[in-house]
Chains A and B, each alone.
With several copies, the nearest count.
Chain A
């Protein structure tokens, strides 16, 4: 973070032409500026000072020409001091430097006196506040912790998919081709059904479909039941309005592997 260049709040210092009378010269103003704005003359940017002064002068001119001339003098003096500071070498302690440091000392002394005058009041103010305790945050309810809450266009999926394949081709593989689905074999499903029926005498058809986790598996179940029925391995019967399956024989020895996709 950069600190902004200090701004002179002249409005707060010079309020009327009457108040101007209090200034015995440019130096008083400099001292005032230093104490009000906590600025170091060495850190000032000349252009900043000039801009702010010229702006203020143009405002003042509309009101009081005498004040304006006073300000022109003060502004020019500030700029002069700044220039001198810049031109003097590091090792050279000019009269001006000495002057500035004495000014600094006075300013610090004054500030310290002011601060000391309020610490008692602040101590009194803090008595109650120091006795207040805050509490730890409650753990947040997790009901929507990680759930995704944006919307997407289906087309984004297709684009993503093709960018996968385009990466594969660019890395020197064969021509882009769609990967094969994981396919449920009817044979695999049939033996799974036989296993299930061995362990329980009868299972509602609905349950067999419900354990299917995908459309291809569902179709595999459907075809398996048909195949096993036609081979006389299982039998379908109505049980209180619901179709159930029961094992009535062994599965066929040679069960041709059939696969299918959706």
Chain B
């Protein structure tokens, strides 16, 4: 085997392996010294970098590994990601709205308002980066408190929480009225939604 062939053999072995392989193992199989393996691997690696190829050869201690070039990581993710995460469900929107309007909130607080356990949905929102933990409440049990994130503002297309639509003031007659009409609006919307889904 000449050096060119050794390079190709190393490339083939590392490709099929996918994971780091000790140079000594390759040396054994090809009947050459560890140093020769590292030399050829170095040449291969330089060639990848110099030609701005889509793959890179990394050396970690005695081991060698092929990996995709980091320059193309965005293209890779976009080509290979299965599907976008789903849009927010109605429960998720509810929890998010409670977090947004009453932040900072504890999970127990959200549960209390919604009347159902919201831990799963809170988890989803945390994972999606729409809410974040921002400390512990200074009461018994020291529960975590949550607030909305920068990403939340971007998602809603606003630059500040103050741009959220105003809630009616609690307690006043005026607010009862407002609340009443909003409730009507929500119900009408729900009925509309249902009929759309049924079609």
Contacts and interface: CB of A to CB of B under 8 A. Distances in A.
Contacts, number: 304
Given A28-B183, A38-B102, A157-B156, A137 B80 contact: yes
B97 A111 contact: no
B88 to A, nearest CB: 6
B32 interface: no
B138 A154 contact: no
A141 B76 contact: yes
B65 to A, nearest CB: 6
A25 B184 CA distance: 10
B175 A3 contact: no
Interface residues of A, number: 92
A158 interface: yes
Nearest to A138: B16
Interface stretch (B1-9, B23-31, B33-41, B107-115): B107-115
Contact of A146 (B104, B106, B129, B134): B129
B119 interface: no
Nearest to A117: B168
B170 A141 contact: no
Interface string B68-100: 111001001100111011111010011011101
A163 B90 contact: yes
Contacts of A110: 170-172, 175
A260 to B, nearest CB: 15
Contacts of A125: 156-158, 165
A26 B186 contact: yes
Contacts of B58: 132
A252 interface: no
B84 A149 contact: yes
A153 B98 contact: no
A168 B87 contact: no
B191 interface: no
Interface residues of B, number: 82
Interface stretch (A11-19, A96-104, A200-208, A238-246): A96-104
B22 to A, nearest CB: 15
A134 B106 contact: no
A99 B179 CA distance: 10
Interface in A106-123: 106, 108-119, 121-123
B85 A176 contact: no
A148 B94 contact: no
Contacts of B96: 122, 157, 160
Contacts of A21: none
B77 A144 contact: yes
A223 B93 CA distance: 34
B136 interface: yes
A31 B169 CA distance: 13
A1 interface: yes
A179 interface: yes
- Considering residues B182, B185, B189, which has the most beta carbons from chain A within 10 angstroms of its beta carbon? B182
Given A112-B113, A157-B100, A161-B101, A132 B70 contact: yes
B67 A155 contact: no
Given A140-B81, A144-B77, A154-B156, A114 B19 contact: no
Contacts of B101: 114-115, 118, 157, 161
Contacts of A137: 16-19, 80
6 contacts: A106-B179, A118-B168, A126-B88, A135-B66, A144-B77, A157-B96
Given A138-B15, A152-B157, 14 more contacts: A3-B104, A109-B172, A114-B169, A115-B113, A117-B167, A117-B168, A123-B87, A134-B66, A150-B155, A152-B155, A157-B96, A162-B183, A165-B179, A182-B104
Interface of A: 1-3, 24-28, 31, 38, 40, 43, 77, 80, 95-96, 99, 102-104, 106, 108-119, 121-123, 125-138, 140-141, 143-144, 146-169, 171, 175-182, 188, 192, 213-214, 217
